[in-house]
């Protein structure tokens, strides 16, 4: 398994795995970086070099998950990355799905009950997705950021405990499986059951975008479940020991 490192040229990284394009954007980098290495680019733009390298490797190699090294990063850097990922889904991938699903369904000769079924499954998946990220951004992430502020600044601990009496991350933890199940249902209805009297290229275009979404979201969820939550549990223990 070849991992990318700080001396890799970012252009070569992208040639090797172009699915990293949105990942590097979220980490604060746009194209046009010539032959610079990851280290040059991160230093120029004030990006945390280790977080950058670990995140692209997590994305590039499914089997790579350096829990120990990732636990070194501050929760705010991890949450910042996760929120940018949500924005990419909400502002780009979801509207792109909306557009592609309509192009695909409009390509069948006449509107049918089957089309309605696909729309229904698609809407269910979208609703689940919106509930999930709203919950994280409105409730879970603010709790985590306040907790880490309270650890860093003892003056804030009393007000934190007043605002979050008896809270712990276990109460917040939500499974990702609901969203994954809805996505599987949507893919399966098209792959296995929908009569194929639509434009195959348009069907493939929609499915490809869903598969892309799925891959990105699995990596995103892995970071939440395996990095963020264990880090928060550590912080909660620290706070408890200060009591
Ligand atoms: Fe998330
Ligand atoms: Fe999540």
Does 235 lie in the same domain as 131? Answer: yes
Which ligand lies nearest the alpha carbon of 85? 1
User: Does a structural domain hold residue 135?
Assistant: yes
Domain count, the chain: 2
As a whole number of angstroms, the distance between CA 163 and CA 32 comes to 46
Distance 132 CA to ligand 2 centre (A): 6
Confidence of residue 6 (pLDDT cuts 50, 70, 90): very high
pLDDT digits (tens, 9 = 90+) for 210-238: 999 999 999 999 889 888 888 899 899 88
Distance 198 CA to ligand 1 centre (A): 34
More confident residue, 66 or 151: 151
Among residues 64, 87, 102, which one ends one of the domains? 64
Which ligand lies nearest the alpha carbon of 221? 2
Distance 9 CA to ligand 2 centre (A): 31
Give me the pLDDT at residue 242, please: 73
pLDDT digits (tens, 9 = 90+) for 198-213: 999 999 999 999 999 9
The pair of three-digit structure tokens given for residue 182, joined into one six-digit string: 């809805």
Does 151 lie in the same domain as 42? Answer: no
pLDDT digits (tens, 9 = 90+) for 163-206: 998 888 887 777 788 888 999 999 999 999 998 989 999 999 99
Does 223 lie in the same domain as 188? Answer: yes
More confident residue, 8 or 234: 8
Does 41 lie in the same domain as 93? Answer: no
User: Does a structural domain hold residue 5?
Assistant: no
Lowest mean pLDDT among 121-125, 142-146, 173-177, 200-204: 173-177
pLDDT digits (tens, 9 = 90+) for 36-82: 999 999 999 999 999 999 899 988 988 887 767 777 788 999 999 99
Q: Flag whether pLDDT at 17 surpasses 90.
A: yes
Q: Flag whether pLDDT at 243 surpasses 70.
A: no
Distance 90 CA to ligand 1 centre (A): 11
Distance 135 CA to ligand 1 centre (A): 9
Which ligand lies nearest the alpha carbon of 177? 2
User: Does a structural domain hold residue 3?
Assistant: no
Give me the pLDDT at residue 113, please: 84
Predicted model pTM: 0.90
Give me the pLDDT at residue 66, please: 73
Q: Show contacts of 199-206: CB within 8 Å, 24+ apart.
A: 199/104, 199/107, 199/108, 202/100, 202/103, 202/104, 202/107, 203/104, 203/107, 205/100, 205/103, 205/104, 206/97, 206/100, 206/101, 206/103, 206/104
User: Does a structural domain hold residue 171?
Assistant: yes
User: Does a structural domain hold residue 200?
Assistant: yes
User: Does a structural domain hold residue 159?
Assistant: yes
User: For residue 45, what are the domain limits?
Assistant: 10-64
Among residues 64, 81, 98, which one ends one of the domains? 64
Does 218 lie in the same domain as 127? Answer: yes
Mean pLDDT on 87-107: 95
User: Does a structural domain hold residue 228?
Assistant: yes
As a whole number of angstroms, the distance between CA 30 and CA 21 comes to 9
Give, as residue ranges, everything with CB less than 5 Å from ion ligand 2: 224
Distance 106 CA to ligand 1 centre (A): 32
User: Does a structural domain hold residue 2?
Assistant: no
């Amino acid at each position: 398994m070849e991992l990318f490192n700080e001396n890799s040229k970012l252009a070569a990284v992208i040639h090797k795995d172009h699915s990293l394009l949105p990942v590097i954007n979220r980490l604060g980098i746009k194209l046009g970086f010539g032959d610079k290495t990851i280290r040059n680019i991160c230093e120029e733009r004030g990006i945390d070099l280790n977080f950058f390298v670990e995140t692209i490797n997590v994305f590039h190699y499914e089997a790579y998950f350096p829990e120990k090294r990732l636990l070194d990063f501050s929760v705010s850097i991890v949450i910042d990355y996760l929120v940018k990922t949500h924005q990419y889904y909400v502002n780009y991938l979801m509207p792109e799905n909306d557009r592609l699903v309509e192009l695909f369904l409009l390509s069948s000769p006449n509107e049918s009950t089957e089309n309605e079924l696909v729309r229904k499954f698609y809407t269910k998946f979208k609703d689940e997705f919106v509930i999930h990220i709203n919950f994280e951004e409105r409730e879970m992430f603010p709790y985590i950021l306040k907790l880490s502020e309270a650890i860093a600044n003892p003056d804030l601990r009393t007000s934190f405990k007043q605002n979050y009496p008896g809270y712990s991350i276990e109460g917040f933890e939500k499974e990702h499986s609901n969203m994954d199940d809805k996505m599987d249902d949507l893919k399966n209805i098209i792959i296995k059951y929908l009569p194929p009297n639509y434009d195959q290229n348009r069907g493939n275009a929609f499915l490809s975008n869903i598969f892309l979404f799925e891959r990105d979201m699995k990596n995103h969820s892995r970071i939440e479940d395996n990095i963020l939550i264990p880090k928060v549990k550590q912080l909660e223990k620290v706070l408890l020991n200060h009591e």
